[in-house]
Amino acid sequence: MPAPLASSDRPAYITTPIYYVNDRPHIGSAYTTTLCDVWARAMRLDGRDVFFLTGTDEHGQKVEKSAKERGMTPQALADENSAEFRKLLGPFNLSNDDFIRTTEPRHESQVQAFVSRLLASGDIYLGEFNGWYDEGQEEYITESRAKEMDYKSPISGRPLVRATEKNYYFKLSAYQSKLEAFFKANPEFVRPAGRFNEVLGRLRDGLQDVPVTRTNFTWGIPMPNAPEHVIYVWIDALFNYATALGLGDAGGALAKDRAKYWPPEYHVIGKEILWFHAVIWPAMLMALDLPMPKCVYAHSFWIRNGQKMSKSLGNFVDLETIDGFFAKYGVDAWRWYMTTQGPLGTQDADFSDKHFHEIYTAQLVNTFANCASRTSSMIEKYFGGAMPAAETASMPVSSAAGAQGWSAFTAQAAEKTRRHYEAFELAEAADTALSIVRAVDLLINETAPFKLAKDPANLPRVAEILAACAEGVRIAAVLLSPIMPAKCDEVLAAYGSTLGGGGMTDAARWGGLKAGTRIAKCAPFMRVDAPVA
């Protein structure tokens, strides 16, 4: 487990990529935003002051082209599709603190201010580009890379087009050794490690200056000193992370409230946009003398039944498909699947209806819901729905766990969960929290309180067992709440509890459930029919 990135009283800033408005939202965009949401909720639960940013990337040739095809202005297209992305936030239960649009004046004026600073420092200069351009990705490609790519876009497969333009350039080459030194000193700057190695490998080829303006279209932010040039969409977009906090307008009102969040703890992105975030963006920040983000986390891709999702195959897990999952399994089951089964490592992850169903049934119905429900119904049956009075802190967890008592076991699991969340090891956080539920399950199976209860003389022992189970369920619900906020709230409410406001460790401390607390029957996840293959 990597060392914690920052002390827990530091404000925390996490960002998603800003999504292109010429596409509709789908599993990919919803995935990255959900991961960031889980982290943001976990850090808030831990008492940190969190700022969680997402938004839309609205300039560029592609948007101009799509708008033309549809007979509308680029702004109208951007408004329409940005609203689609915003609509997603409620149903997915995403708790972002702001939603930035790159066509907003607050963003545009700050980008111009940043670019003016880079012009003044000589980091941006006028020159001529001769090379290649990937139209789909809106990315300039040097001759040597184009050759490696066989003059085709690795993303769309379409041929690269020749590009010769008089452009403004960013002096990326001047930052080669500074970047190398920075990467060496920060071995966790890019995660997972395999992705960092890819960046370092490409860095060894040597950095060339990159164009930062275009003149062959107009849908972009005008260059402050030369308005016939528009700022290249990628440069414009990367700045969103800083403009949302007002950093381009240092004395302004936005910066007054938000500058404290800089630098970001995590820029979470997909693997295809790593170079921009791991190399170009840090070099720009160095040129602007702004502190570096702590980590760029590049996840891999969701694929569908073993195949890459693409428009031409028509196999995108789109919002309509996701709606079907919401209707059948609920949004929290969706968030659980995204968090625990997603492509957080260097491998792509396959999205299949069957696998989704299996995970739902095994982990949510048979484990989490089953424990919450068995415990609450037995408390109802044997103790009239009131938390039994019993000393449980040092009661052994199970025969397998040796002498370790419940209080020590859950404290250890809670701390481990907390650290996993903090380190963006979200699937591990989920599994560690769920291990408490598995221990409750084992306790019930090993001690069979439903059998013991047949003899009234055993009631003190049954009280002890069920009190431990209830407290275990409560703590698990606290720790799982960043992933499944609505369902965990439901369980906590049934168990007469709340998340409290004292931090994750406090909320998860053994003994939170006082004797006599009303415990209502609950069944947070219900069995549903398996999908037809």
Is 99 a residue that touches ligand MSP (CB under 6 A)? Answer: no
Is 28 a residue that touches ligand MSP (CB under 6 A)? Answer: yes
In this complex, which beta carbon is closest to ligand MSP, that of residue 302 or of residue 368?
A: 302
* Residue 62: closest CA among 45, 46, 77, 41: 77
Which one of 32, 34, 54, 81 is in contact with ligand MSP (CB under 6 A)? Answer: 32
3-state DSSP assignment of residue 72:
coil
* Residue 385: closest CA among 254, 269, 516: 516
Q: How far apart are CA 387 and CA 390, in angstroms?
A: 9
CA dihedral sign of residues 277, 278, 284, 288: positive
Which one of 5, 6, 11, 23 is in contact with ligand MSP (CB under 6 A)? Answer: 23
Q: How far apart are CA 461 and CA 202, in angstroms?
A: 64
Stretch that binds ligand MSP, among 13-21, 41-49, 69-77, 424-432 (CB under 6 A): 13-21
Q: How far is the CB of 27 from ligand MSP (least distance, A)?
A: 6
In this complex, which beta carbon is closest to ligand MSP, that of residue 81 or of residue 373?
A: 81
In this complex, which beta carbon is closest to ligand MSP, that of residue 57 or of residue 332?
A: 57
Q: Do residues 131 and 141 make contact, with C-beta atoms less than 8 angstroms apart?
A: yes
Q: Do residues 127 and 170 make contact, with C-beta atoms less than 8 angstroms apart?
A: no
Which one of 13, 20, 133, 175 is in contact with ligand MSP (CB under 6 A)? Answer: 20
Residue 54 Ramachandran class (φ > 0 left, ψ -120 to 50 alpha, else beta): beta
Is 55 a residue that touches ligand MSP (CB under 6 A)? Answer: no
Which one of 13, 14, 29, 483 is in contact with ligand MSP (CB under 6 A)? Answer: 29
Is 341 a residue that touches ligand MSP (CB under 6 A)? Answer: no
Stretch that binds ligand MSP, among 26-34, 40-48, 184-192, 394-402 (CB under 6 A): 26-34
Q: Do residues 302 and 27 make contact, with C-beta atoms less than 8 angstroms apart?
A: yes
Size of the site for ligand MSP (CB under 6 A): 20
Looking at beta carbons, which residue is closest to ligand MSP? 28
Query: Cβ contacts of residue 204 below 8 Å, gap of 6+?
Result: none
Tokens matching residue 186: 């920060």
Query: Cβ contacts of residue 433 below 8 Å, gap of 6+?
Result: 413, 417, 476, 479, 480
Ramachandran angles phi, psi of 229, nearest 5° = -100, 140
In this complex, which beta carbon is closest to ligand MSP, that of residue 19 or of residue 133?
A: 19
Question: Whole-angstrom distance between the N-terminal and C-terminal Cα of the chain?
Answer: 38
Q: How far is the CB of 322 from ligand MSP (least distance, A)?
A: 13
- Binding marks (x or -) toward ligand MSP, 470..509, rule CB under 6 A? ----------------------------------------
Q: How far apart are CA 78 and CA 63, in angstroms?
A: 8
Is 364 a residue that touches ligand MSP (CB under 6 A)? Answer: no
Burial call 121-156: b when 16+ CB within 10 Å, e when fewer: eebbeeeebebbbbbebbbbbbeebbeeeeeebeee
In this complex, which beta carbon is closest to ligand MSP, that of residue 238 or of residue 466?
A: 238
**DSSP H or E segment with residue 387:** none
Tokens matching residue 349: 């992850």
Binding to ligand MSP (CB under 6 A): which residues in 158-187?
A: none
Q: How far is the CB of 502 from ligand MSP (least distance, A)?
A: 34
Binding to ligand MSP (CB under 6 A): which residues in 192-251?
A: 237-238, 240
In this complex, which beta carbon is closest to ligand MSP, that of residue 197 or of residue 310?
A: 310
Tokens matching residue 469: 């189970």
Binding to ligand MSP (CB under 6 A): which residues in 34-53?
A: none
- Binding marks (x or -) toward ligand MSP, 295..334, rule CB under 6 A? ------xx------x-------------------------
Residues contributing to the site for ligand MSP (CB under 6 A) = 17-20, 23, 28-29, 31-32, 57, 237-238, 240, 269-270, 272-273, 301-302, 309
